[in-house]
Structure 1
Amino acid sequence: MTEQRYHVIGMTCGRCADTLETKVCGVYGVDRVGIDLDTGSVTVTGEALDGSKVCAAITEAGFEVAAVL
């Protein structure tokens, strides 16, 4: 199991978190997504995670990846 963390800009509410979680969960290999709205942190857990695909899903959901932590 691999874990990747991202700092995401633009998440301001629970609906934002739900949208982001749905989009990232659709990426192959993602098992779980944890979101902390207070810090803008997104933690993605799964097997054989492809960081570029996770970042693309975050962007497609309408948010910006500020950093990979």
Structure 2
Amino acid sequence: MCDSCSCGTNTGQDAGTIDLQTTPIETVYSVEGMTCGHCASSVTGELSKLDGVVSVDVEVSSGSVTVRSTSPLDRETVRGAVDEAGYQLVGA
């Protein structure tokens, strides 16, 4: 039965066994100006500071930055972090 609102709906499982873990959201960004591992480390460091970021993977050769987060990230917040690292987020 639903314990949260007392509506009487049969949930088919005990409230204590519900798995609230969610799959991270994966977003791929394009970043200009990275040329080496230090560049990747700078971008990773700044993006990792953002709330909800679980992991950051950078591919320097393509400028691809994959960010996994617990919730969608605001693009302007991501842009600010990339700018802080000294690089430019490509696109609107």
Query: TM-score scaled by structure 1?
Result: 0.89
Moved segments of 4+, more than 2 Å? 49-52
Aligned-pair identity in percent equals 37
1:23 counterpart residue number: 46
* CA deviation string 1:40-60 (max 9, x = no partner): 000000111333212210111
- The match for 1:42 among 54, 65, 68 is 65
Task: Show structure 2 runs of 5+ residues with no match.
Answer: 1-23
Q: In 2, distance between residues paired with 1:32 and 1:52? A: 19
* CA deviation string 1:3-52 (max 9, x = no partner): 11111001000001111101100000101000001100000001113332
CA RMSD of aligned residues (A): 1.3
Q: In 1, distance between residues paired with 2:91 and 2:28? A: 9
What letter corresponds to residue 78 of structure 2 in structure 1? V
Which has the larger strand fraction?
A: 1
**Is the Cα–Cα contact under 8 Å of residues 8 and 67 in structure 1 kept in the other structure?**
no
Asked which structure has the greater CA Rg, the reply is 2
Higher relative contact order (CA 8 A, sep 6+): 1
Query: TM-score scaled by structure 2?
Result: 0.68
